[in-house]
Amino acid sequence: MEDKQTALVRRLYQTWPGRLLLKLLVRPWVSKLAGAFMDSRFSCRMIEPFITRNSIDMSDYEERTYRSFNDFFTRRVTEGRRPVSMERGHLVSPCDGLLSVHSISRERRFSIKGQSYTLEELLRSSDISERFEGGLLLKFRLTVSDYHRYHYPDNGSKTENTKVDGILNTVHPFASERRPIYKENEREYFSLISDNFGEMLYIQVGALLVGRICNNHGRAVVYRGEEAGCFEYGGSTVILCLERDVARLRDEFVTDSNEEIRVRMGETIGYATF
C-alpha cells in the first residue's frame, strides 16, 4: 500500500486536476513565497498538528523552542540517539529513510521522486556516471516525518558541490503524445574519496515545491558521522553510489527489488570487501 506522500505525488502527475495544480505550484514565485512563510514565525502554528498527524516521536530530538516550521523540520537528534559504527569496514547509512538497492548500468532507469532517470540523466554527466558502471545505487527515501539531516558515511576528501537545476516541462495541446506537466526536482551531488570504499557519489534530491538542499561544506576533509547538510521542508531523497565490488550489503537488502527497508542514520548496512 502506498503512503500518503507517494499517493499525493501520483495524483499531481497522473490526473488532469493534479497537473493543473502542479503547473501553478512549480512557478518560482510560488516556491519562494512558500519558503518565506516556512521560515517565518507565523509558520510555528503548523508544528504541533504536524507532529500529531505524522506520529513523530519527539523524544528522539533536542528539546527546544522552534523559531519557524523550517527550524522544526531541520531539528537535530539528541546526542546518542543515532550511534554511528566506527568499525573500519562498516558501511553506515548516511541518513534516516527507506532504503532500496539497485544495480547501475548505462541503460538502467531509477524512479526518483515520481520521475524516471538513468544515472547520466540524474547527474547530466556521462563522465561521472561511467565510473560507477557495475556498481550499486543506494536510494534512501525520506518521508516528511523523518530526521532531515544527512551525514558522511566514511572519512575522506569531499569535492565541491555541483548543483543540477530542475527543468519545467509542459504539455503541448497539439502534441500526439502528451507529456505530463512536471518540474524535475533540483539536486546536488559531490564525490567522497573515502578511506574504505573508494570513490562514493553522494546525491541529494530536493522536494518538488519548497524544499531546499543545504550542504554544509565545499571541498573539505570530512569524517564519518559528521553532518553533511540538511533538507528544508518537503520529502527528499539521498542517493549513495558505490563503485563495482567495493562493498557487500547485509542480506536483507535485495538488489533490484522494489522493497524498501527502514534504516537509521549511523546503522551498519554493509561491509567493505577489502
Q: Single out the catalytic residue among 68, 71, 93, 96.
A: 96
Residue appearing with cell numbers 541518513: 95
Q: Which helix (H) or strand (E) holds 213?
A: strand 213-215
Please, which residues bridge with residue 191 across strands? 201
Q: Single out the catalytic residue among 129, 191, 194, 236.
A: 236
Please, which residues bridge with residue 268 across strands? 92
* Angle in degrees, CA 81, 82, 84, rounded to 5: 140
Q: Is 96 assigned a catalytic role?
A: yes
Give Cα 209 to chain centroid, integer Å: 14
Termini Cα distance of the chain: 39
Check the CA dihedral 202-207-209-215 and report its sign: negative
**Contacts of residue 193, Cβ cutoff 8 Å, sequence gap at least 6:** 156, 157, 158, 159, 199
Catalytic residues: 96, 236
